[in-house]
Amino acid sequence: MSSSTADIIGREDPNDLDAILGITNTDVNEIIHDVNASVDTLFTWNYERSRPALSKLYEKAKTSQWNVTTDLDWSIDVDQEKEVGNTPGIGMAVQAGLIDLSQTPVGHWGKKEWTNFEIESSNWSLSQFLHGEQGALLCTARIVETVPWIDAKYYAATQVMDEARHVEVFGRYLYEKMSSQYPINAHLRMLLDDIVSDSRWDITYLGMQIMVEGLALAAFGFMHMLTQEPLLKKLLRYVMSDEARHVAFGVLSLQEFYQGLNQAEIRERQEFAFEAALRMRDRFLQQEVWERQGVNPIEVIRFMRENGPQGDDPFQHMLFSKIVPNCKKLGLLDAGDGWLRERFTEIGVIQFEDWADTGEEYESLDEVAKDRAAS
As a whole number, mean pLDDT of residues 154-161 equals 97
Q: How far apart are CA 17 and CA 300, in angstroms?
A: 11
Q: HSE-up of 1 (CA within 13 Å, CB side)?
A: 2
31 has pLDDT over 70: yes
Q: How far apart are CA 114 and CA 289, in angstroms?
A: 12
Q: Which domain holds residue 222?
A: 89-374
93 has pLDDT over 90: no
Q: How far apart are CA 210 and CA 255, in angstroms?
A: 11
Q: How far apart are CA 148 and CA 264, in angstroms?
A: 22
Region of 153 on the Ramachandran plot (φ > 0 left; ψ -120 to 50 alpha; else beta): alpha
Q: CA angle 221-222-224, nearest 5°?
A: 65
Task: Flag whether 136 is in a domain.
Answer: yes
143 has pLDDT over 60: yes
Average pLDDT across the chain, whole number: 90
* CA dihedral (269, 274, 280, 282) positive or negative: negative
28 has pLDDT over 80: no
**319 in Cβ contact with 280 (< 8 Å):** yes
Q: For residue 98, give the amino acid letter.
A: L
| Helices assigned H by DSSP within 16-149 | 17-21, 52-63, 80-85, 90-95, 111-146
Q: Indicate the range of 120-124, 190-194, 248-252, 308-312 predicted with least confidence.
A: 308-312
Q: HSE-up of 62 (CA within 13 Å, CB side)?
A: 8
Task: Flag whether 31 is in a domain.
Answer: no
Q: What number of H helices and E strands is found in the chain?
A: 19, 0
Q: How far apart are CA 371 and CA 375, in angstroms?
A: 6
Q: What is the DSSP letter of 4?
A: P
Of the segments 21-35, 179-193, 318-332, 350-364, which one has the largest average pLDDT value? 179-193
**18 in Cβ contact with 298 (< 8 Å):** yes
Task: Flag whether 292 is in a domain.
Answer: yes
Q: For residue 146, give the amino acid letter.
A: T
Instruction: Give the contacts of 58 (CB within 8 A, at least 6 positions apart).
Output: 151, 154, 155, 158
Task: Flag whether 112 is in a domain.
Answer: yes
CA-nearest of 108, 113, 166, 115 to 137 is 166
**pLDDT value at residue 187:** 94
**pLDDT value at residue 359:** 62
Indicate the number of domains in the chain.
Answer: 1
Instruction: Give the contacts of 352 (CB within 8 A, at least 6 positions apart).
Output: 317, 320, 321, 323, 324, 325
Task: Flag whether 8 is in a domain.
Answer: no
SS3 8: helix
Rounded to two decimals, the pTM is 0.92
**CATH number for the domain including 279?**
1.20.1260.10
User: How confident is the model over 40-88, as pLDDT tens digits?
Assistant: 999 999 999 999 999 999 999 999 999 999 999 999 999 999 999 888 8
355 has pLDDT over 90: no
Task: Flag whether 5 is in a domain.
Answer: no
Task: Flag whether 176 is in a domain.
Answer: yes
311 has pLDDT over 90: no
Task: Flag whether 241 is in a domain.
Answer: yes
Q: How far apart are CA 257 and CA 332, in angstroms?
A: 12
